[in-house]
């Protein structure tokens, strides 16, 4: 998998991929990242990448020509040509980071990591600045606009780093524990998880579309609070049940919207009802 990032601030990414899992994935060649300075694709003395908006108003807009030239150098043709361009083009996704985009989710991260229906090998991320990017770049080249949340950042660089991080860790071989991408918050539905029913529970038990449960480690007592006794008694089934209940509690408290799409068993529904009654 290769990520290509097009930005006017390439220096932003210095250091960002030099820690933890990302550094290891790069060092092992599981993933590569190219950072491309948009100013390289300008031809005037001032290396101009922006201009005033048609129609007037505040701020500046990133020009289409340097971006088109950058994409051309990366071998990215306009969408219409790509669609008829065979396998190489089919494996590429061009993404415009934008507050106006579809909200980035774990499901999209899985798609981009090639775990969905399409086999992808290249993700191109275009970082906007100022008021944004000339819309024709989106129309001509981008497969989608992605927003990392309902707030406005000053540039797409942070958003691109978030997307790279979330996608990269799902690429097979990147995480030490292969299963942990499935067994965490927003993980795949329980129906797809068959491997954690017996023996020592995984540190992350099937999230099934719910949030993860709380985690504890030594010391058993900290700040006057004791870690839950159930986690220390070695009863694996009890631990699984406790963790599932905690997932339901946390999701109900922090993200009740997720319960609608979650794979819930009859036991889950009984537990949820009991938790709701408790709160009344
Ligand atoms: N005028 C734009 C609007 O109101 O939607 C905001 C432009 S913002 C100041 C500059 C750039 O930051 C955008 O072009 C985009 O690349 C990036 N950006 C801002 N918020 C973002 C978000 N929530 N997700 C992804 N990218 C974002």
| C-alpha span between 195 and 187 (Å, rounded) | 14
Please determine, for residue 73, whether its predicted confidence score (pLDDT) is greater than 70.
Answer: yes
| Mean pLDDT (whole number) for 24-35 | 97
> Which of 38, 152, 162 has most ligand 1 atoms within 8 Å of CB, for mutation?
152
Tell me if 176 is assigned to some domain: no
Tell me if 99 is assigned to some domain: yes
Same domain, 136 and 31: yes
Asked if residue 45 has a cis previous peptide bond (ω within 30° of 0), the answer is: no
Same domain, 163 and 188: no
> Which of 150, 153, 166 has most ligand 1 atoms within 8 Å of CB, for mutation?
153
User: For atom 23 of ligand 1, which residue has the closest CA?
Assistant: 99
Tell whether pTM > 0.75: yes
Tell me if 244 is assigned to some domain: yes
Same domain, 61 and 194: no
- Residue range 141-184, pLDDT digits in tens: 999 999 999 999 999 999 999 999 999 999 999 997 655 666 77
Query: 252 is in which domain, residue-wise?
Result: 182-279
Same domain, 55 and 149: yes
Bridge partners of 6, per DSSP, are 36, 126
Tell me if 94 is assigned to some domain: yes
Same domain, 151 and 192: no
Last residue of a domain, one of 128, 144, 168: 168
CATH number at residue 41: 3.40.1280.10
Map residue 179 onto helix, strand or coil: helix
Same domain, 10 and 145: yes
Confirm or reject: Cβ of 155 under 6 Å from ligand 1. yes
Number of domains in the chain: 2
Confirm or reject: Cβ of 98 under 6 Å from ligand 1. yes
Same domain, 196 and 220: yes
- Residue range 37-67, pLDDT digits in tens: 999 999 999 999 999 999 999 999 999 999 9
Please determine, for residue 196, whether its predicted confidence score (pLDDT) is greater than 80.
Answer: no
Confirm or reject: Cβ of 206 under 6 Å from ligand 1. no
> Separation of 151 CA from ligand 1 center, angstroms?
8
Q: Are the CB atoms for 122 and 2 separated by under 8 Å?
A: yes
Same domain, 77 and 131: yes
| Mean pLDDT (whole number) for 245-255 | 96
CATH number at residue 231: 1.10.1270.20
| C-alpha span between 223 and 78 (Å, rounded) | 59
Last residue of a domain, one of 168, 192, 226: 168
Four-CA torsion 47, 64, 127, 96, nearest 10 degrees = -170
Same domain, 246 and 118: no
Residue 22 CB neighbours (<10 A) = 19
User: For atom 2 of ligand 1, which residue has the closest CA?
Assistant: 131
């Amino acid at each position: 998998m290769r990520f290509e990032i097009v930005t006017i601030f390439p220096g932003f990414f210095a250091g960002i991929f030099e820690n933890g899992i990302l550094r290891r994935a790069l060092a092992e060649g599981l993933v590569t990242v190219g950072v491309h300075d948009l100013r390289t694709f300008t031809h005037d003395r001032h290396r101009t990448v922006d201009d005033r908006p048609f129609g007037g108003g505040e701020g500046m807009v990133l020009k289409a020509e340097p971006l088109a030239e950058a994409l051309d150098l990366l071998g990215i043709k306009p969408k219409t040509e790509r669609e008829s361009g065979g396998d190489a083009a089919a494996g590429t996704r061009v993404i415009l980071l934008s507050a106006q985009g579809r909200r980035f989710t774990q499901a999209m991260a899985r798609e981009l990591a090639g775990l969905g229906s399409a086999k992808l090998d290249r993700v191109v991320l275009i970082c906007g600045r100022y008021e944004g990017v000339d819309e024709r770049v989106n129309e001509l080249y981008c497969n989608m606009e992605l927003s990392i949340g309902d707030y406005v950042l000053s540039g797409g660089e942070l958003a691109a780093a978030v997307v790279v991080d979330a996608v990269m860790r799902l690429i097979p071989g990147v995480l030490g524990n292969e299963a942990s991408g499935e067994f965490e918050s927003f993980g795949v539905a329980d129906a797809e998880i068959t491997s954690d029913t017996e023996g020592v529970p995984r540190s992350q038990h099937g999230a099934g579309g719910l949030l993860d449960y709380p985690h504890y480690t030594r010391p058993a007592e900290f700040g006057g609070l004791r870690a839950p006794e159930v986690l220390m008694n070695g009863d694996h089934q009890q631990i699984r049940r406790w963790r599932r209940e905690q997932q339901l509690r946390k999701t109900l408290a922090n993200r009740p919207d997720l319960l609608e799409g979650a794979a819930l068993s009859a036991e889950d529904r009984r537990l949820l009802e009991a938790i709701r009654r408790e709160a009344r």
